[in-house]
Amino acid sequence: MTDEERAFFRRLIEEGIPFNAFLGLKVLHLEPGDCRLLLPFRSEFVGDARRGALHGGVISTLIDVCGGFTVWSRGHVDDRVATIDLRVDYLMPAVDGDIVAHGRLRLLGNRVGNAQVEVFSREHPDRLLAEGKGVYNIRRRR
């Protein structure tokens, strides 16, 4: 991956996709087949007010975005990647703090890629909050 490609993906993740920009996603690390994204805590993301825990939909979105870019990072910037299937296991509540997703490429074919994503607390990286698997359709540039 060239510096120019890395900059393209960073801009796309952080600014180019309006929903990601709304969430405030930040790229911590991006190499081919390996991606780490930060989701800053915002009270608007809370789904369980009694515990202050993030809504599961916010966590699954983070997993999906991280998995998709993990797969895409092994391709070309002109390729297109879309989610086929996403599975999420919520292991612990994500309360009062930023969370990080770490995606790793598991399988890459010509038309399909598979990524494994772990979500953990930024302050407590040993605390696994959720994990997910994403299967992504790849439409290669012509």
Q: What is the pLDDT of residues 6-15, one digit of tens each?
A: 999 999 899 9
Rounded CA separation 18/129 (Å): 26
Task: Specify the amino acid at residue 24.
Answer: G
Nearest to 98 by CA among 34, 11, 20, 24: 24
> Is a pLDDT exceeding 90 seen at residue 50?
no
| pTM (predicted TM-score) | 0.93
Question: What's the average model confidence in pLDDT over 3-24?
Answer: 92
Do 63 and 130 form a contact (C-beta atoms < 8 A)?
yes
pLDDT score for 129 = 96
Range(s) of the domain holding residue 88? 3-139
pLDDT score for 75 = 86
Confidence band of 96 (pLDDT split at 50, 70, 90): confident
> Is a pLDDT exceeding 90 seen at residue 102?
yes
Question: What's the average model confidence in pLDDT over 13-28?
Answer: 95
Rounded CA separation 37/64 (Å): 11
Q: What is the pLDDT of residues 52-87, one digit of tens each?
A: 889 999 999 999 999 999 999 998 888 999 999 999
**CATH number for the domain that contains residue 52:** 3.10.129.10
Domain count for the chain, please give it.
Answer: 1
32: its two tokens: 């081919």
Residue 92, SS3 per DSSP = coil
Residue 140, SS3 per DSSP = coil
Question: What's the average model confidence in pLDDT over 79-101?
Answer: 94
